[in-house]
């Protein structure tokens, strides 16, 4: 009989995992609260349940007697993955690990205890605690919700004399916090990278290091990624080491992680770690294009208790770049075919169509589309993306 994998989420984000599992000949139980989720169009068993409704998902997992459970690149279902794997005795992450990987305050505490390099931080539960924490900073700081993602609620404060701005930063961030907690932390300066890892039986393997491009202050939305990192070996080795320490600190013994790091003057320090694959096409597209390693398949195999093939097949460069945009209505998108004809362009996608109302980029979800490229090295792949972008005209009014 075919093995059964439960995949939490059936949106476009999870589609690569659903497709991969089907190609592997597995039976797929897809879970999503949206009955029209795109993943449900595949040959899967549907469970129309919210991926964060832990008791309901556990019950469905028991009913189907699943052999493994996973989520691709979203944060909130991580706690459900932990609960299902515990209840059914499957390979997965512990409850405690899921909490440390989804609550930025618990994460910071775990990293601090383990001696992993991190910025100075304070967890605050109300405005009074916030005002006290703010007094501890003599330079730029970041305010963020303890338990959100996709750059939602991130705010930078760089004028310490601006009392109104400081208050507004709290209000903005607090609005996005599910449990009401907010983290205030020292602003780290330097280039940002992420580390994509797979841990198998307690051994953490770094598969790739990704360079990032963000919008910068105030909201820090990611506008592009490229692989491999441009950092020289000595720094890349330290980045890998810090990411492995972070994996140990939160207790990942089997499964993927995506660790965001800023390379400061004092060395690499952790922004955050997710016990999941990297989103933004990093693990579904960029890693296979730069290394030949199929992280999605590996992840499914790990969840099923089997051994993945994590050997690098080649060394190439890959990149993704998101289109710039402003608030308004999309009137025209032109030149896509010309862009697709450029050597090295692997995919051009638009999340929004002509006629759609879009906003400025204040979170990842607001971005209207992207280009993915592959070339001999990262720099060349970025150039391919940029050349393709120049061919495309997007009119927004």
Ligand X SMILES: Nc1ncnc2c1ncn2[C@@H]1O[C@H](COP(=O)(O)OP(=O)(O)O)[C@@H](O)[C@H]1O
Q: Is 280 in the site for ligand X (CB under 6 A)?
A: no
319, 227 contact by CB (below 8 A):
yes
Q: CB 9 → Mg ion: shortest distance, Å?
A: 18
Residue range at the interface with ligand X (CB under 6 A); choices 142-150, 292-300, 329-337, 380-388? 142-150
185 interacts with ligand X by CB under 6 A: yes
Q: Whose CB is nearest to ligand X? A: 220
Please, which residues have CB within 8 angstroms of residue 322's CB and are 6 or more apart in sequence? 222, 223, 224, 361, 367, 368, 369, 370
- In the region spanning residues 236 to 255, those forming contacts with ligand X, defined by CB under 6 A, are none
Label the pairing between strands 27-31 and 4-8.
Answer: parallel
Minimum gap (Å) between residue 104 Cβ and ligand X = 6
Residue 352 touches ligand X, criterion: CB under 6 A: no
**Residue 107 or residue 287: which is nearer to Mg ion going by CB?**
107
Exposure b/e, 91-117, CB count within 10 A at least 16 = b: bbbbeebbbbbbbbbbbbbbbeeeebb
Rounded CA gap, 87 and 110, in Å?
Answer: 25
Q: What is the largest CA-CA distance in the chain?
A: 66
Of positions 154, 169, 209, 223, contacts ligand X by CB under 6 A: 154
Q: Does 294 bind ligand X (CB under 6 A)?
A: no
Tokens of 55: 């008791």
Phi-psi region of 288 (alpha: psi -120 to 50; beta: other; left: phi over 0): alpha
Q: Which of 40, 220 has the CB closer to ligand X?
A: 220
172 in contact with ligand X (CB under 6 A):
no
In this complex, which beta carbon is closest to Mg ion, that of residue 272 or of residue 280?
Answer: 272
Contacted by 181, from Mg ion, ligand X, none: CB < 5 to 8 Å by type: none
Helices (H), 140-232: 163-175
φ and ψ of 217, to 5 deg: -65, 150
For residue 259, the minimal CB distance to ligand X (Å) is 10
Q: How many CB atoms lie within 10 A of CB 328?
A: 14
For ligand X, the binding residue among 114, 172, 187, 350 (CB under 6 A) is: 187
User: Of 58, 184, 271, 320, which one interacts with ligand X (CB under 6 A)?
Assistant: 271
Work out what residue 144 binds among Mg ion, ligand X, none; the CB cut-off runs from 5 to 8 Å by kind: ligand X
Please state, in angstroms and as integers, the Cα–Cα distance from residue 216 to each residue in 39, 114, 221, 277, 302, following that order: 33, 29, 7, 23, 36
The alpha-helical segments, DSSP class H, found in 194-285 are 233-250
- Binding partner at 378 among Mg ion, ligand X, none, C-beta below 5 to 8 Å by kind: none
| Residue 67 vs 272, nearer CB to Mg ion | 272
Q: Which residue lies nearer to ligand X by CB, 77 or 150?
A: 150
Instruction: Please report whether residue 188 would count as binding ligand X according to CB under 6 A.
Output: yes
Binding part of the chain for ligand X, among 18-26, 184-192, 354-362, 389-397 by CB under 6 A, reads 184-192
Least distance (Å) between residue 156 CB and ligand X: 8
Integer Cα distance of 358 and 353 in angstroms = 10
Which residues of the chain form contacts with ligand X (CB under 6 A)?
Answer: 119, 142, 144, 149-152, 154, 185, 187-188, 192, 214, 220, 260, 262, 271-272
């Amino acid at each position: 009989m075919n093995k059964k994998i439960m995949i939490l989420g059936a949106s476009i984000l999870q589609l690569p995992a659903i497709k991969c599992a089907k190609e592997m000949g597995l039976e797929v139980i897809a879970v999503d609260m949206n009955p029209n989720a795109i993943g449900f169009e595949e040959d899967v068993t549907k469970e129309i349940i919210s991926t964060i409704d832990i008791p309901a998902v556990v019950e469905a997992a028991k009913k189907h007697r699943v052999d493994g459970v996973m989520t691709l690149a979203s944060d909130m279902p991580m706690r459900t993955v932990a609960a299902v794997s515990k209840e059914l005795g499957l390979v997965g992450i512990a409850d405690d690990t899921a909490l440390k990987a989804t609550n930025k305050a618990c994460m910071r505490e775990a990293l601090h205890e383990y001696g992993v390099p991190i910025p100075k931080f304070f967890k605050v539960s109300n405005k009074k605690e916030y005002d006290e924490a703010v007094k501890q900073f003599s330079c730029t700081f970041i305010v963020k919700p303890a338990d959100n993602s996709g750059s939602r609620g991130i705010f930078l404060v760089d004028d310490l004399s601006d009392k109104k701005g400081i208050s507004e930063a709290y209000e903005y961030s607090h609005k996005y916090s599910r449990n009401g907690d907010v983290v205030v932390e020292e602003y780290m300066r330097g280039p940002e990278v992420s580390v994509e890892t797979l841990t198998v039986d307690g051994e953490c393997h770094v598969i790739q290091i990704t360079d990032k491009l963000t919008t910068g202050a105030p909201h820090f939305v990611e506008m592009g990624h490229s692989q491999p990192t441009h950092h020289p070996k000595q720094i890349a080795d330290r980045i890998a080491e810090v990411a492995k320490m972070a994996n140990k600190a939160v207790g990942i013994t089997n499964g993927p992680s995506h660790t965001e790091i800023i390379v400061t003057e004092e060395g690499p320090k952790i922004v955050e770690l997710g016990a999941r694959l990297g989103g933004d096409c990093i693990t579904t597209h960029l890693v296979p294009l730069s290394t030949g390693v199929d992280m999605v398949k590996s992840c499914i195999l790990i969840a099923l208790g089997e051994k993945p093939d994590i050997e690098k097949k080649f060394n190439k460069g890959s990149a993704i770049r998101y289109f710039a945009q402003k608030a308004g209505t999309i009137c025209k998108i032109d030149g896509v075919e010309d862009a697709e004809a450029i050597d090295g362009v692997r995919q051009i996608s638009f999340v929004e169509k002509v006629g759609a109302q879009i906003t400025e980029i204040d979170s990842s979800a607001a971005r209207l589309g992207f280009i993915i490229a592959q070339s001999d090295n990262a720099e060349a792949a970025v150039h391919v993306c940029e050349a393709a972008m120049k061919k495309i005209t997007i009119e927004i009014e």
